[in-house]
Amino acid sequence: MGISIKKYIGIILIVFLGLLACENNKEELTTGLEGIVYQGPISPVVIDSQINDAPFSGLFNVYNLKNKFIISFSSNTDGEFNVLLAPGNYKIIPDKSAPMMNADSQVKEITVNTVGITQIDLYFDTGIR
């Protein structure tokens, strides 16, 4: 009977230590990306002094450089976005639902800095010519 109690105490101790180890590995991310997404051209006629791109709302998918999906994020109606990501290199790809031609083929490679939020604006081609 003494052996089975020690066995149960050992199992409980292992489970407790495992849970404690898992809890300690959960770090809150303090790095990521923040910026505005733009699409353009928005007019087939280009005039030198006029801006021919505009912010837009859309869904974006983030992958690492080995094409492993990491997370999705959305930009608001003003094109603003922010997403927490670990430092490193990533690909940002508009979702197929984004308002542009060949959205899923427009890949933007970005780098998240090791400290703080990396500021970046992303430009995507509408296909208007």
Question: Which pLDDT tens digits describe the chain residue by residue (129 residues)?
Answer: 556 776 666 666 566 655 555 444 457 889 999 999 999 988 888 888 888 899 999 999 999 999 999 999 999 999 999 999 999 999 999 999 887 888 889 999 999 999 999 999 999 998 887
Tokens for 16, please give them: 């407790």
Beta strands in the chain (DSSP E): 32-40, 54-55, 59-64, 69-74, 80-84, 88-94, 108-112, 117-119, 122-125
Q: What is the pLDDT of residue 25?
A: 45
Structural domains in the chain, CATH included, are 32-125 (2.60.40.10)
Give bridge partners of residue 45 from the DSSP assignment: none
Q: What is the pLDDT of residue 18?
A: 59
Answer whether 99's CB lies under 8 Å from 59's CB: no
Q: What is the pLDDT of residue 23?
A: 47
